[in-house]
């Protein structure tokens, strides 16, 4: 039986204004050319049915970031920096709401 991914982080915050913040990060059983850091992740800020900010690396897309309707490559350095970058984007967005 092949090894499976290990869930490292699974946090969800449901804010009073309807905003959802969710962070999921898995350690994969092995690295791949597409995920050389060995992690699969999904970081979400938005409302049900509306992604405002997102960071993920779904198969076929590599590391990337979503901001509203824009998608751009994300240069992954470390899990800590990923989480910091996400929270910095969330803080900026909340300051403008």
What pLDDT, on the 0 to 100 scale, is given for residue 1? Answer: 37
What pLDDT, on the 0 to 100 scale, is given for residue 32? Answer: 87
What pLDDT, on the 0 to 100 scale, is given for residue 33? Answer: 87
> Is the pTM for the entire model greater than 0.75?
yes
- HEC sequence for 28-88: CCCCCCCCCCCEEEEEEEEECCEEEEEEECCCCCCCEEEECCEEEECCCCCHHHHHHHHHH
What pLDDT, on the 0 to 100 scale, is given for residue 2? Answer: 54
Give per-10-residue mean pLDDT for the chain (97 aa).
83 97 96 92 97 92 94 96 98 90
């Amino acid at each position: 039986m092949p090894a499976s991914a290990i869930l490292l982080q699974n946090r969800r915050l449901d804010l009073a204004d309807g905003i959802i913040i969710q962070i999921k990060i898995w350690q994969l059983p092995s690295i791949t050319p597409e995920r050389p850091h060995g992690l699969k992740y999904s970081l979400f800020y938005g409302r049900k049915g509306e992604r405002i900010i997102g960071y993920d690396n779904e198969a076929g897309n590599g590391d990337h970031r979503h901001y509203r309707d824009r998608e751009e490559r994300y240069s992954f350095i470390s899990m800590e920096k990923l989480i910091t970058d996400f929270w910095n984007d969330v803080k900026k967005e909340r300051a403008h709401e």
